[in-house]
Structure 1
Amino acid sequence: MSPELVELALHKQRLQIRSADQRAALIHHAQGFAPVFRGVDKVVDGVLWARNNAPILSGIGIFVLVARPRAALRWFRRGWLGWQLVRRARNLVS
């Protein structure tokens, strides 16, 4: 084997070792964000569940509206304010 090829192989090996060290460091530092990512995943799962079960949620909403109108209006107001907050946050992000 020529000395140039040996030198290239050694350089490649050093780069691979350095890359592995950087990958391990990144994984170690990113573990601090794991609880945040889990929380975001739970919220996304909840939104997807609500989208997939919209008829059930609508039925429950109608039942509560008939059975307890004041409570339903209170929850509607909270939901409306939450929806407005989400819309404004999306506008700020984009």
Structure 2
Amino acid sequence: MNPKLLELATRHGALKVRIDQQRRQLAQHALPLEAALAKGDTVLKGVDWLKHHPAAVGAAVVAIVIAKPKRAWRWARRGVFLWRGWQAAKSTILGERG
């Protein structure tokens, strides 16, 4: 076999081993990030459910208002505060202007 081809094959094999090691390291470093992203996916599924079931959300709000109006207003204010904070954070992260 040609010595140059043999050298190239040897280098190619060594690079493959190195790439495999780097992939394993990257996968191990990404584990905490994977867990955080999975939690984010769960939250987004909940938000998606809320968007597709407005009647259920409305019924829950009506029930809360009938049960404890003062508490409902307090939670509504908190909700608006959180919603505004989310909108501000989203626009900052995504660079949107609104």
CA distances 1:22-60 after superposition (whole Å, capped 9, x unpaired)? 011111222233442233222222212222222211121
What is residue 12 of structure 1 aligned with on the other side? 12
TM-score relative to the length of structure 1: 0.81
Q: Determine the structure 2 residue equivalent to 1:48.
A: 48
Scaled by the length of structure 2, the TM-score of the pair is 0.78
**% identical equivalent positions:** 30
Aligned residues: 94
* 1:17 partner amino acid: V
Separation in 2, partners of 1:5, 1:55: 70
Deviates more, 1:3-12 or 1:28-37: 28-37
Alignment match, 1:39: 39
Which whole-Å CA distance do the structure 2 matches of 1:81 and 1:71 have between them? 15
Q: RMSD between aligned alpha carbons?
A: 1.9
Which residue number in structure 2 is paired with residue 60 of structure 1?
A: 60
Q: How does 1:76-87 map to 2 (within 5 A)?
A: 76-87=76-87
Do residues 71 (structure 1) and 71 (structure 2) align?
yes
